């Protein structure tokens, strides 16, 4: 029986109500040594400016590092906003430590060092810090995803998913009876969670189990029984959706596969293990029209672009798998495309420090470097652009 206190969630279109987070905006200096270098841009994003966000992941106090994005793709560091929790100071081995609501009004962040999550209000004048940071519903949150008024968090150390309802002022309220144990638990190596674009299903990658787990999302926001599928290639890691139902999944063994995720929660392979001839393909970003997928190769210091056809089949844009190079030992990780898709941003996490590089996206999907912002703490995590 559904508890009387269960929040009512409309499905399939979760509601989004206007409002701001209670609490003043907090702006702090970035890590010492932050500086900006840029080269001449190859293209503009329709004349639109925006912002890029990443998590410092500091164990002394987690924060969102904020960069203003000019219309030519260059970046300007504007400070940090505390998330009210702690990072780990070590790599999270995940995709989706940051997520933005579809309407761009809220930025959600994990605090993996304190087992909490945060919702930050996005305004024209910057970010408003969270008014509260509830428990993530498990241990070591590393990835989260939002659809309308529903948020789900992936807790790696406990091997669980936990649901939250997002209130009108950004408050995150635990969804009763929504904590779900993943098949295989923590040893399965969960890496990312994401709603499908229509919000009807949820997908999770499991690195160690070499599996994908999907769930139908009920009208009350809770998850149905899991559906599992063996990965086409070894070590499925990050993913992004190309179109309404096709998930492009990176494989750390060196390549990517595509899968159809059905409204019922079922999943099946479409394009199996297309190698990119690079090392440690782990993070994915897809274009708004769903015809391009960019994979970050952490072991090769490169980005591989895949073309995605109308059936979801994958093929390399460049025969050698190198669409852009990020530099030797640069360790590219999280990626994000700007609103309009004119620029691709990549988080680089070598051992000493982290940075963000930006690339202009050409009409044929090619990439040209336009900006680099350096001086972030080592092991920064997550990336969102708008």
Q: What single DSSP character describes residue 44?
A: -
Tokens 């099946």, located at residue = 268
Could you tell me where the beta strands, DSSP code E, fall in 97-159?
A: 98-100, 106-111, 116-123, 126-128, 141-147, 150-155
Residues 6+ apart with CB under 8 A from 257: 231, 232, 233, 236, 248, 249, 251, 269, 270, 271, 272, 273, 274, 314
Cα–Cα distance for residue pair 248/255, rounded to 1 Å: 10
At 38 the pLDDT is 32
Beta sheet of 236-242, edge-to-edge order: 236-242, 246-251, 255-261, 267-275
Average pLDDT rounded to a whole number, residues 289-300: 97
| Higher pLDDT among residues 30 and 348, named by residue | 348
**Alpha-carbon span 137 to 98, nearest angstrom:** 17
In this prediction, what percent of the chain has a pLDDT beyond 70? 88
pLDDT of residue 364: 96
Task: Return the pLDDT at 231.
Answer: 98
Over residues 282-296, mean pLDDT: 97
pLDDT value at 210 more than 70? yes
At 9 the pLDDT is 53
pLDDT value, residue 35: 32
Q: How far apart are CA 378 and CA 169, in angstroms?
A: 33
Average pLDDT over residues 284-298: 97
Q: Tell me the three state secondary structure of residue 80.
A: strand
> Can you give the pLDDT at residue 45?
58
pLDDT at 258 over 70: yes
Q: Residue 14 has what pLDDT?
A: 41
Q: Does 46 score more than 70 pLDDT?
A: no
Distances (CA, A) of 218 to 47, 155, 165: 41, 21, 14
The overall average pLDDT reported for the chain is 89
pLDDT category at 124 given cuts 50, 70, 90 is: confident
- Taken as a whole, the chain contains a residue count of 386
Average pLDDT on 143-155 reads 97
Percent of the chain surpassing pLDDT 90 = 83
**The domain 38-385: what is its CATH number?**
2.130.10.10
Closest CA to 254 of 306, 202, 196: 306
> 307-339: per-residue pLDDT in tens?
999 999 999 999 999 999 999 899 999 999 999
- Predicted confidence (pLDDT) at residue 374 exceeds the cutoff of 90: no
pLDDT of residue 125: 86
Angle at CA of residue 77, ends 71 and 83, nearest 5°:
115
Q: What are the structural domain ranges in the chain?
A: 38-385
- Rounded Cα distance between 203 and 266, Å, is 10
State pLDDT tens for residues 160-207. Answer: 999 999 998 889 999 999 999 999 999 999 999 999 999 999 999 999
Q: What is the pLDDT of residues 57-84, one digit of tens each?
A: 999 999 999 999 999 999 999 999 999 9
Cα gap 43→40, rounded to integer Å: 9
Q: CB neighbours of 1 closer than 8 A, spacing ≥ 6?
A: none
Q: Give the residue-averaged pLDDT of 101-106.
A: 93
CB neighbourhood size of 310 (10 A): 9
Written as six digits, the tokens of 159 are 């091997």
| Residue-level pLDDT at 356 | 98
Instruction: Tell me 288's DSSP state.
Output: T
> Is a pLDDT exceeding 50 seen at residue 29?
no
Confidence (pLDDT) at 12 = 40
Q: What is the pLDDT of residue 48?
A: 77
Q: Distance between CA atoms of 270 and 267, rounded to whole angstroms?
A: 10
Greater model confidence, 17 or 271: 271
The pLDDT of residue 357 is above 50: yes
Average pLDDT over residues 281-298: 97
């Amino acid at each position: 029986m559904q508890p009387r206190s269960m929040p009512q969630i409309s499905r399939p279109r979760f509601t989004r109500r206007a409002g701001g987070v209670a609490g003043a905006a907090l702006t702090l200096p970035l890590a010492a040594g932050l500086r900006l270098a840029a080269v001449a841009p190859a293209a503009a994003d329709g004349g639109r400016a925006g912002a890029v966000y990443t998590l410092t992941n500091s164990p002394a106090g987690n924060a969102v590092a904020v960069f203003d994005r000019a219309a030519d793709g260059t970046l300007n560091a504007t400070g940090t906003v505390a998330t009210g929790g702690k990072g780990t100071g070590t790599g999270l081995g995940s995709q989706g430590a940051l997520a933005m609501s579809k309407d761009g009004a809220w930025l959600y962040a994990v605090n993996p060092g304190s087992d909490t999550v945060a919702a930050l209000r996005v305004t024209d004048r910057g970010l408003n810090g969270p008014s509260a940071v509830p428990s993530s519903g498990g241990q070591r949150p590393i990835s989260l995803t939002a659809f309308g008024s529903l948020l789900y968090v992936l807790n790696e150390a406990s091997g669980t998913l936990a649901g939250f309802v997002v209130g009108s002022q950004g408050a995150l309220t635990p969804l009763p009876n929504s904590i779900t144990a993943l098949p295989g638990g923590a040893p399965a190596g969960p890496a990312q969670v994401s709603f499908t674009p229509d919000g009807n299903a949820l997908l999770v990658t499991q690195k160690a189990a070499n599996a994908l787990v999907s769930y139908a999302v009920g009208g009350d926001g809770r998850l149905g029984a899991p559906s599992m599928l063996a990965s086409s290639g070894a070590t499925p890691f990050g993913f992004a959706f190309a179109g309404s139902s096709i998930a492009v999944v990176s494989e750390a063994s060196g390549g990517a596969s595509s899968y159809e995720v059905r409204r019922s929660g079922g999943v099946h392979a479409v394009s199996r293990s297309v190698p990119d001839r690079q090392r440690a393909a782990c993070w994915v970003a897809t274009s708004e029209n769903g015809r391009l997928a960019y994979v970050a190769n952490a072991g090769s210091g490169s980005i591989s672009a895949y073309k995605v056809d109308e059936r979801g089949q994958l093929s390399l844009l460049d025969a050698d798998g190198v669409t852009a190079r990020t530099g030797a030992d640069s360790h590219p990780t999280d990626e994000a495309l700007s609103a309009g898709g004119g620029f691709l941003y990549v988080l680089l996490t070598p051992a000493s420090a982290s940075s963000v590089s930006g690339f202009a996206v050409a009409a044929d999907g090619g990439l040209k470097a336009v900006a680099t912002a350096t001086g972030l703490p080592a092991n920064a995590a997550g990336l969102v652009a708008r």
